Every structure is written in C-alpha cells, then in structure tokens.
Structure 1
Amino acid sequence: MYVDPPAPKPRGRDEMPPVTAAGPLDNQPLAYEFNPDYERLITAWNTVMPMLEKLSTALDKSYALAKSPQTWDAPVGERYVQDLREWRSRLALYRHSVLTAISDEADDTPRWIPSQTGAPHAFP
C-alpha cells in the first residue's frame, strides 16, 4: 500500500504574499498575487480525491464480501477474489501516480507570482 504524497496547500486565511522581490530588484516592494496555476492544482487534487476514495471503498467492500466463506462455495470464487485483488492493486498504483503527479507539479509551481498591477514600466 502506498502513502499519499502531500497535497498542495490552499492559501491560508492569514497567509500574506512576500513583501520584497528576490533577485536583481532586491528590497524593492512588488505586488504579488496567488498563482492561478497553483490554485488549479489544488482544485484538481480536491476533485480527484473523492473519486479515488469512492472507487477504493467500492472495491474494498466487494473484496471483503468476496472473501467471505458465506459468499462463495465453488472454485470460481477464488478466481473472483484474485481478480478483485488485482484491481485493488491497479487502483492503488493509479492513485499513487495521479496524486504524485499533482504533488510534484505543485512543488515546482510557485505559490505567489508578481502581479501586473502596480508594476513599474520603462515607458509610461
């Protein structure tokens, strides 16, 4: 079984953007906004998680019922249990790959980006 990677963190109620720029304009105040691309990753995570949980719950319930000795009294039952075990394994791999992709993308995406409003321009 895999452990889910860390989810992208939504903007905190008291979270404030950086106060100054980093780089060639050090100590120059800039306007920042929460990155819309990062917001989309949060939305993707929150959309995918309930779907994956629903699939996992359904397969787990079916697997538990199939393993019950009261359900099957024939060799075909063991084949059905093996099929369900394989599907649960595939779902775990799929879940891990999807959530890892979202989490890795969130790690590579800045939470705050410079805003276009109030930015100094070379020509008025």
Structure 2
Amino acid sequence: MYVDPPAPRPREVGERPPITATGPLDAPQRAWEFNPDYQRLVDAWNAVMPHLETLRTVLDKAYSRAKSPQTWDAPVGERYVEDIREWRERLARYRHAVLTAISDEAADTPRWVQTTANAPHAFP
C-alpha cells in the first residue's frame, strides 16, 4: 500500500508573495507573480487524480466481486482473482510514480517568481 505524496498547493485567497518591496528606491524594483509552472503542476495533479480514483474504484469493485464464492465455482476462478490483484498492485505503483513525479517537481519549483512587468518605478 502506497501513501500519496503531498499535493502541490494551489494559490490561496489573499496569499501574498514571499517578499515585498521595502521602499520606492529598491533597486531593481520587482513585482511578483504566482509561478505559472507551479500552477501547471497543480492543474496536472487535479486532472490526474479523478482518473486514478476511477481506475482504483473499478478495480476494487471487480476484485471484490471476483473473490466472492458466488462468482466462481471452478478452480480457474482463482487465476482471474490473481490477475485482478496484480492489476491493482500495478495501478498502485503507477499512481505512486505519477503523483510522486508531480509532487517532487512541485517541491523543486518556486511558488512565486519575480517579474518586471507592472513593477513600480520611482521615476516615470
């Protein structure tokens, strides 16, 4: 059983950049924006999770039905149960790999980046 890694956090309401200008003569004046690359990772996580959950739910349902003694009355049934169990394990490993890749990339990507667009200037 794998535990999902931490998800990238979307921008929260009222969240501010980590550093603000300390005065009008700061050189160079910089504005901050929420990192679009980080936002893409948040979007990727949110896009992939429903699909992974759907696959897990379907395989869990098939596995529980396959294990039922009312489903199979022949010894060959155990082979199908083993196949479904293996598919569930593969899905768990795949889910862990995909979510870990997104989470690791988010951990290495800054949430805020500096930009010169719309930066305040001391003199026009």
Please name the residue that 1:112 is paired with.
112
Unaligned runs of 5+ in 1: none
Deviations 1:58-113 (A, max 9, x none): 00000000000000000110000000000000000000000000000000000000
1:36 equivalent in structure 2: 36
Contact 2:37 2:109 in 1 (8 A): yes
The number of residues matched between the two structures is 118
RCO greater where, 1 or 2, for CA within 8 Å and sep 6 or more? Answer: 2
* Conserved 8 A contact 1:20-1:29: no
- Taking structure 1 as the reference length, what is the TM-score of the superposition? 0.87
* CA apart distance, 1:7: 0.2
Q: Which runs of 5+ in 2 are unaligned?
A: none
Deviates more, 1:111-120 or 1:44-53: 111-120
Task: Give distance in 1, aligned partners of 2:70 and 2:49.
Answer: 33
Q: Match of 2:11?
A: 11
- Equivalent residue, structure 2, for 1:68: 68
Aligned partner of residue 71 in structure 2, secondary structure:
coil
The DSSP-based 3-state class of the residue aligned with 1:114 is strand
Percent identity of equivalent pairs: 71
- Contact kept, 8 Å, 1:38 with 1:106, in 2: the verdict is yes
Instruction: Letter of the 2:107 partner, please give it.
Output: D
CA distance in 2, matches of 1:92, 1:105: 20
Contact 1:19 1:29 in 2 (8 A): no
Give the stretch that moved more between structures: 28-37 or 66-75. Answer: 28-37
Structure 2 contact 31–117 (Cα < 8 Å) conserved: yes
Runs of 4 or more above 6 Å deviation: none
Structure 1, residues 14-68: CA drift from partner, whole Å, max 9, x if none? Answer: 21112347xxxx8975210000000000000000000000000000000000000
Q: Is the 1:20–1:27 Cα contact (8 Å) retained in structure 2?
A: no
Is the Cα–Cα contact under 8 Å of residues 29 and 119 in structure 2 kept in the other structure? no
Residue of structure 1 in register with 2:99 after alignment: 99
> Quick one: distance in 1 between partners of 2:74 and 2:43?
46
